[in-house]
A = this chain, B = another copy of it.
Amino acid sequence: MRVVPWFLATSLLVAGPSLAAQHTTTIPAKAIATATQLRETALASHLGYDIAESLTTEVGPRLAGSEADARAVEWAQAKFKALGYDKVWLEEVRFPKWERRSEHGAVVGAHAQPLSLIALGGSPGGRVEGDVVRFADLASLEAVPAGSLAGKIAFIDFHMERARDGSGYGMGSKVRGSGPSAAARAGAVGYLMRSAGTDSHRNPHTGITHYADDITPIPSAALGAPDADQLTRLLARGPVRVHLALDCGWDGETVSHNVIGEIRGRSKPDEVVLIGGHLDSWDPGTGAIDDAAGVSLTMAAGALIGELKQRPARTIRVVAFANEEQGLYGGKAYAAAHLGDIRKHQIAAESDFGAGRIYGFRSGAPDYAQGAVKQIADVLAPLGIAHSPQEGGPGPDIGPFAAKGLAWASLRQDGTDYFDYHHTPDDTLDKIDPEALAQNVAAYAVFAYLAASADGDFGSEAKTVTPPSE
């Protein structure tokens, strides 16, 4: 049997939009002209920044499931309406509730001094004290025999690398996700890690961790980079004993909501281009770059499209996803709720990588749609955005749906500084450059408008695929 690409193979078997797969998807010249004007309008607009200012100021930190998270949902509904969206609704998202109350850590003994640290999301509370055993990386900790760290506090001092595409976070987040279980498996009573970050400030980085089923969860926290260095220097002098007191933990199940707004399409209102970001944030900062930026710039892009004299053919759907931070709950709920109408989704793109300028664009669409992708790229080019077919994937909340066949695009942001602030108290509005955000709004507006105006589709249909990670 001849091997064919999956999109060709599947397109032969199904009806509906995929019939278009036998044709070439293109974008009409008139739409290109409108998008070119829209790009300039968006670049000159402060709307994206104003929305981010509103969310980070009026709601502030909004840990999934908290009182502030519920306020954020109300805020998003009201903001969609104020921006003139035609339809605004909520979709329920359920998840376990994790709460942070306080956290303290200190070196005890001859060199007694406090440590700047933050509990990892998902950590149980507890007071533990033990001698610290340092590991340079996750593999070193995973290599120790079970039980060999009995009574100790395991400490991984992994230094995450700075990179424009954020690639250093791959291992950085793995140290956070897998380190606590590896430590517990080795018998440790507590877990410390150098923050998965690239700064050298006293603002440690939190983030979710998951404990394996075969271990009893242990209190786990991230140290600020200066504190990780300090611990390493102290360990060079001899044994170091640390006291760790975390008051946090899981407390039942709770409900939040994906908040969805639509700018209705002119001729094919039932088909949607989906853009969005996530509404929840970690609690220490005000979640400006993660992800008020993504929510705000996509809300603004949709609103600017809504202000055009002539709407695009299809609907622009903006989703403010619930609880991305603790396990993509909003994205998974959306995929589950909408799998049946996957073909109505023209294409989707999420912004969840800060507020840096976009430098690259690609889409995982099949070949028959790549001409249209190139047409979009040409309108994006004056924004300093290259057509880069090798880089990027759907955003985290789009990921679960993309894995089921949703067409996606990636607008790659410059994340060089992103992990200086990500998941820290320092993720505040002043870290957003209004001009860079306007460039993002312009890019999303152009993308959404053109994709919604295309003659033909981008390949959404129910199938099992493995999309590239962001």
Instruction: Kindly report which residue of chain B lies nearest to residue A424, judged by CB atoms.
Output: B202
Interface string of A406-421 (1 = CB under 8 A from B): 0000000000000000
Confirm or deny: A429 has a beta carbon within 8 angstroms of a beta carbon on chain B. Answer: yes
Question: Within the complex, which residue of B226, B286, B430 is in contact with A200, where a contact is CB–CB below 8 Å?
Answer: B430
- Report Cα–Cα, A178/B430, bound state, in Å: 28
Which residues of B have CB within 8 Å of A110? 58
Q: How many copies does the complex hold?
A: 2
A203-B202 in contact (CB<8A): yes
Confirm or deny: A234 has a beta carbon within 8 angstroms of a beta carbon on chain B. Answer: yes
Which residues of B have CB within 8 Å of A58? 110-111, 234, 237
Interface residues of A in 206-245 (CB under 8 A from B): 225-226, 229-230, 233-234, 237
Instruction: Kindly report which residue of chain B lies nearest to residue A61, judged by CB atoms.
Output: B113
Interface residues of A in 417-454 (CB under 8 A from B): 424-426, 428-431
Which residues of B have CB within 8 Å of A107? 60
Confirm or deny: A201 has a beta carbon within 8 angstroms of a beta carbon on chain B. Answer: yes
Closest Cβ of chain B to A245, distance in Å, is 13
Closest Cβ of chain B to A397, distance in Å, is 24
Confirm or deny: A262 has a beta carbon within 8 angstroms of a beta carbon on chain B. Answer: no
Which residues of B have CB within 8 Å of A200? 430-431
**Residue picked from A57, A67, A68, most chain B C-beta under 10 Å:** A57
Interface string of A21-61 (1 = CB under 8 A from B): 00000000000000000000000000000000100111111
A60-B113 in contact (CB<8A): yes
Which residues of B have CB within 8 Å of A225? 430
A230-B286 in contact (CB<8A): yes
Which residues of B have CB within 8 Å of A233? 53, 57, 429
Which residues of B have CB within 8 Å of A67? 112
- Report Cα–Cα, A61/B201, bound state, in Å: 16
Confirm or deny: A114 has a beta carbon within 8 angstroms of a beta carbon on chain B. Answer: yes
Confirm or deny: A285 has a beta carbon within 8 angstroms of a beta carbon on chain B. Answer: yes
| Further contacts, 15 of them, CB under 8 A, given A58-B110, A226-B426, A226-B428 | A56-B230, A57-B230, A57-B237, A58-B111, A60-B107, A60-B111, A60-B113, A67-B112, A200-B431, A201-B203, A202-B203, A202-B284, A202-B424, A203-B203, A230-B429
List A residues at the B interface (Cβ < 8 Å).
53, 56-61, 67-68, 107, 110-114, 116, 200-203, 225-226, 229-230, 233-234, 237, 284-286, 424-426, 428-431
24 A-B residue pairs with CB within 8 Å: A53-B233, A56-B230, A58-B110, A58-B111, A58-B234, A58-B237, A59-B113, A60-B107, A60-B230, A67-B112, A68-B112, A68-B113, A113-B286, A200-B430, A200-B431, A201-B203, A202-B284, A202-B285, A202-B424, A202-B426, A225-B430, A229-B430, A230-B428, A233-B429
